[in-house]
Chain A
Amino acid sequence: MPALTFKSSKLLRAQDSFTSFAFVLPALVIFSIFYVYPFFDIFNLSLHEWNGISFKRTFVGFDNFSELGVDKIWWKSVWNAMYITIMALTLQNALAFALALACDREIRMKNFYRVVFFLPPVLSEIVVGLIWRWILNAEMQAGEHIGLLNHWLVQSGLPHLVHEWLSDPETALTCIAVVHCWKGFGWGFIMLLAGLQTIDRQLYEAAKVDGANTLSTFWHVTLPMMVPVILVVVILTVLGSMQAFVLILSMVGQGLVYHTEVPVTRILASMQGVNRFGYACAQGVCFAGILICISIFFKMISDRAKQV
């Protein structure tokens, strides 16, 4: 008799696991068909030398990876992407958080701001590229600067700061990063706002009663509640910024020497410029590894933060 109960409870538990698993099943099926299969194909290709067309694929083992290890341009491009990402993590997310906090309180015109801040992510890269190339243009006409930024610098009495913004190695990548932050902060803004909105107002009231000022309320109430949402925003920012490339293409075309190269543009160059699909796939696999490491790193930090 006892044995039977044990068996049935085990069965029940198995059944329970199975029905729970069924919730994940549709997602898993789509994932397997549209991701896992291409992934193995790509991984397989990264061990080959292949020009993308021919039926001939030469197996080269890990040659592509060992070549990638000493490819200075590749690692420079990884660093460039990190630079953009660091700018996005600090500048963009700080701006997004500040604006979300401002719009979370009872402030006039907040509905207007909520809509307006989301315009840059919605706009096509074509428009963004056109506008920013115009703002940063270094050309002159009839003694006047065409570009808004240079024009404005001269007007404000700072002519020594006039620059060829997009063709100077000192400034090109930073300009791109700033535009990227401008284009992307709307995402962080709405996600953080959504997170802020779910915080119980009573907690703020309680903090106020306890005599906490704005800063300590933020530090002790808002921030701890926001850790999970911040983590999502951080991970999405990292993945989005590391992979940004459409904006780069639309701002500096095929790039300023190697100063504006990022991993994705290198992969495209290997695929379309040099017709080395195997090498491009190796770059892709390496890049995926880098991204996963960064994501795990942030996950660990946030676990720490939650414990504290």
Chain B
Amino acid sequence: MKNVLALVLCLFTCIGCGQPKQDANTVTLWHWMTDRNDAFQALAAKYEEETGIKVQIDLYPPSDAYTQRIIASAQARVLPDIYGILDKKQVFASFIESGFVADLTEDFAANDGEWEKALFAKALDVNRFKEGNIYNIKPGIYGAPIDVTNIQMLYNKKLLAKAGIDKAPQTFDEFLAAAQALNRIGVAGLVSGWGELWMADCFASNYAFNIMGEEKVMATFRGEVPYTDPDWIAVFNVFKRMADAKAFAPGIVTKPNKDAEQSFALERSAFSFNGSWGVNAYHGMNPDLDYGVMMPPAINPDNPMYIWGGAGSSFVINGASQNKDQAVAFLKWFTARDQQVFLAQETKNLPSNRKALSKIPEVLSDYAKAMDNTTHPTIWKYNEHPLVAETYLKGIQSIIIGEKTPEQVAGEVQAVKEREMAKAEKRK
């Protein structure tokens, strides 16, 4: 017993010691990107060497825990100088409104807009609030993108050839036919990590834009077009047609993205719907995988196909930061060409600086080609109410598993939409 007590005493002495105080001249940065931490740390060391300013970079993975930490730290007023917000535009707006995020518009405009021009407009738009935005935020730019990304379809060349298909399907009907041909040789069609709902949202949104065009989608969000509109039924029908043609890998609705990546890499499925980050994962699991990148095959030939993409990750600066100027200086340096090239090469993510694009690893260039055709909920003028979005995505799941028809789902989504609109009306 005496031993135990001695041990406890020892421990409590340990507990008391060692709390280095933070230097006023250090810039602090919190992030969640495990895969990029080493590269970030290397850049921070380089920055300290060049300027003498220390940037303390702390990693708090995984992203859910990181988000909780940011929310709690905001309430306790202990946010760092630089951090990222991993959430909807609406939440971003709320951070700005509460003064947790500094307005960077002037910094971007300085020197004839030098900083602004260097970065991809699409990526910058994620951090931009336009004139007359629905959140009533003062127009301006509130964050800096550090990389870009997009989500497309991939096809396994070897498996397609084996099923007697010589080129990637161009139209939706060709795609369904390909999936059936693949099924005959015992290979599944499309795999994707739809256990993470936003991936399914992304796929559905691609087709909504293709079938009815951006304007009509936005009109639906505003409540002017009902979800029972034939065009929306057609969107829901995409999933029904694919399910009927057995074009989905078994169990797609509850698959985590990592399992989906495994299924494509190990050639159980011939198509994959995944982001540019997947390139790394496939290489790790199966270095010989021979695949190509394609847009999801269009249904409506008159409208272009839009995919999700834009800023992969962005950093913002704490509105209450004592070190705002130093933080801005660091972010400017961080997004400059040389550092972006370094990041792209080290982490195989697409750089946000357009001048760095010529130097990216080869595998990514196919992904990068589609950057012009990207869109993202954070740059839309309107966003759907999250509760409606949830009903809509869960509805898509039930179509895939054959539990409900597209018409039933459309009706349910519309009912929730009307209820939420009535509630918002009442609140006014």
Contact = CB atoms under 8 A, between A and B. Distances in A.
B25 to A, nearest CB: 29
Given A53-B71, A257-B403, A140 B186 contact: yes
Given A253-B196, A257-B401, A275-B88, A51 B94 contact: yes
Interface of B: 64, 67, 71, 74, 87-88, 90-91, 94-95, 97-98, 100, 186, 188, 193-197, 249-256, 259, 263, 266-269, 386-387, 390, 394, 397-398, 401, 403
A170 to B, nearest CB: 10
B110 to A, nearest CB: 29
Contacts of B98: 53-55
Given A53-B100, A141-B266, A254-B195, A167 B253 contact: yes
Given A53-B74, A256-B397, A169 B95 contact: no
Interface string A131-160: 001000111111100100000000000000
Contact of A256 (B64, B88, B253): B253
Interface in A142-186: 142-143, 146, 164-169, 172
B90 to A, nearest CB: 7
A269 interface: yes
Contacts of A269: 390
Interface of A: 51-55, 133, 137-143, 146, 164-169, 172, 251-258, 260, 269, 272-275
A128 B163 CA distance: 36
Given A252-B254, A254-B195, A254-B197, 16 more contacts: A53-B100, A55-B98, A138-B250, A139-B249, A139-B251, A139-B268, A141-B268, A166-B251, A167-B251, A167-B401, A253-B194, A258-B394, A260-B254, A269-B390, A275-B87, A275-B94
Nearest to B70: A53
Contacts of B250: 138-140, 164, 167
Contact of B71 (A52, A141, A257, A260): A52
A143 B185 CA distance: 8
Contacts of B64: 272
Nearest to A169: B403
Contacts of A275: 87-88, 90-91, 94, 386
A276 B312 CA distance: 25
B268 A167 contact: no
Contact of B251 (A52, A143, A164): A164
A252 B386 CA distance: 21
B421 to A, nearest CB: 16
Contacts of A252: 195, 254
A55 B74 CA distance: 10
A256 B254 contact: yes
Nearest to B67: A272
Nearest to A137: B251
23 contacts: A52-B94, A53-B94, A139-B188, A139-B268, A140-B188, A140-B268, A141-B186, A141-B266, A143-B186, A166-B254, A167-B254, A172-B254, A252-B254, A253-B196, A253-B197, A256-B253, A256-B397, A257-B401, A269-B390, A274-B386, A275-B87, A275-B91, A275-B94
A257 B401 CA distance: 9
A106 to B, nearest CB: 32
B186 A142 contact: yes
Contacts of B195: 252-254
B401 A169 contact: yes
Contact of A273 (B256, B268, B386, B401): B386
A53 B188 CA distance: 44
Contacts of A140: 186, 188, 250, 268
A255 B254 contact: yes
A11 to B, nearest CB: 35
A203 to B, nearest CB: 32
A196 B302 CA distance: 75
Contacts of A142: 186
Q: Which 5 A-B pairs have the closest CB atoms?
A: A253-B195, A138-B250, A252-B254, A274-B386, A53-B94
Contacts of B100: 53
Contacts of B259: 133
Nearest to B91: A275
Contacts of B95: 53
Contacts of A138: 250-251
B221 to A, nearest CB: 16
Contacts of A141: 186, 266-268
Contacts of A169: 401, 403
B100 to A, nearest CB: 7
A275 B135 CA distance: 15
A254 B64 CA distance: 13
Contacts of B188: 139-140
Contacts of B403: 169, 257
Contacts of B74: 53
A146 B194 CA distance: 19
B398 A253 contact: no
Contacts of A167: 250-254, 401
A300 B256 CA distance: 43
A143 B97 CA distance: 57
A187 B267 CA distance: 40
A168 B97 contact: no
Most-contacted residue by chain A among B71, B188, B269 (CB, 10 A):
B71
Contacts of B91: 51-53, 275
